Amino acid sequence: MGRNKQLREYIKAYKWSDMLAMVRNNKADPRRCSDDFAGRLVVITGATAGIGYATARTYASHGANLLCINRNAGKSRVLCRELETEFGVRCRDIIADLSTLADMHRVGHQLAQLEEPIDVLIHNAGTYLTRRVETVDGLEAVFAVNHLSSFVINYLLRDKLLAQSGGRVLLVNSEAHRFAPWGLHLDDLNWEKHRYSGLLSYGSAKLAQLLAMITFGDLLEGSGVTVNAVHPGAVRTESGKDNGPVYRWYKNNILERNFRSTAISADALYYLGVSAEVGGVSGKFFNLTTLENPAPPALDRGAADELWRISLKLGDLEGSVARVR
């Protein structure tokens, strides 16, 4: 589809009711689940702070065993000791920098070799940068961490997930995917041709994650494994801490002044990972626990197919091609 025709299709698909629903849902509380999850395995990326930390504690408080994928070894070991001491669960970790292809692949392969099933996999690791930064692999960092890391790990886990009798994959996404209202620049995912901005790069990376969910949903169809995305609410996190002092002051004193606790994000992620009420739901976008229509570009199967091919190349996965239904 030509770019102009694609834009016209997006414009026709936008609805004021969806935008109003987003505003309304941002003020809502998540549904909660009190079911036990003792002895089940939950994998969380980026669990030493913010949403990941609150979510790890919530799952551990219900008896789940944790495997945390963290960048900082010291903080990761402190987290595991805390969870094991306070809740009596087992906590393991893998130390990895998910901005690098080598660590994305290493994590994917290590998880694929686990003997026990992964009951819940939560892709929480993310970053927000106000200036363009390249990774060691020459990739734009926000795209690499927010989209490509979850793509590579999910792809390398596909055989294990398909062989399981069930499981849930949760993508910590964002309403910010709406910051890319006219879709992805699929010819410039590395932001080399277009002017970079923090909001646009972040929105585009989250949109890419939603488009990848379409194809992974097709790949996992009929396996009993579901994949869903969730906006974790307007909550106070450490996201953006790598930006300059002006941004950090703005974030702490203005942007997040009225934001809520990450406890609501953890409640939502526990509900979506455990509750029987959403057990068969897959390929959906939730604002906390409220089902919501994402922006039209996030539903574009043509763009999803093209992004899949590009992500295989950028993720160094071209030698291993999965069959998609």
Ordered structural domains, the chain, with CATH: 20-233+263-314 (3.40.50.720)
Selecting among 53, 128, 155, 202, the annotated active-site residue is: 202
More confident residue, 141 or 22: 141
According to DSSP, residue 138 is labeled S
CB atoms within 10 A of CB 115: 4
Q: Mean of the pLDDT values across residues 159-177?
A: 95
Whose tokens are 């792809």? That residue is 155
The answer to whether the beta carbons of residues 286 and 268 sit under 8 Å apart is yes
Dist CA 275 CA 91 (whole Å)? 22
Mean pLDDT of the chain: 91
Angle between helices 149-156 and 198-220 (to 10 degrees): 10
What are the residues whose beta carbons fall under 8 Å from the beta carbon of 94, sequence distance 6 or more?
67, 68, 69, 70, 106, 107, 110
CA angle 294, 298, 299 (to 5 degrees): 95
Whose tokens are 């992974």? That residue is 216
The answer to whether the beta carbons of residues 285 and 293 sit under 8 Å apart is yes
Dist CA 171 CA 284 (whole Å)? 10
pLDDT tens for 58-94 read 999 999 999 999 999 999 999 999 999 999 999 999 9
Rg of the chain over CA atoms, in angstroms? 19
Sheet architecture: strand order including 65-70: 91-95, 65-70, 41-45, 120-123, 167-172, 225-231, 285-287, 290-292
% of residues, the chain, pLDDT over 70: 89
More confident residue, 181 or 323: 181
Q: Please say if the pLDDT value at position 243 is more than 60.
A: no
Q: Please say if the pLDDT value at position 186 is more than 80.
A: yes
Q: Please say if the pLDDT value at position 117 is more than 60.
A: yes
Dist CA 191 CA 132 (whole Å)? 8
pLDDT, position 7: 72
**Least confident piece of the model among 6-15, 139-148, 181-190:** 6-15
Task: Indicate if 202 belongs to the active site.
Answer: yes
Dist CA 79 CA 83 (whole Å)? 6
pLDDT, position 120: 98
Q: Mean of the pLDDT values across residues 131-145?
A: 97
pLDDT, position 158: 96
More confident residue, 325 or 287: 287
The answer to whether the beta carbons of residues 206 and 173 sit under 8 Å apart is yes
Q: Look at residues 226, 220, 207 and name the one whose alpha carbon lies nearest to residue 272.
A: 226
pLDDT tens for 294-308 read 999 999 999 999 999
Q: Tell me how far CA of residue 18 lies from CA of 15, 179, 208, 294, 319, in angstroms.
A: 5, 15, 20, 8, 40
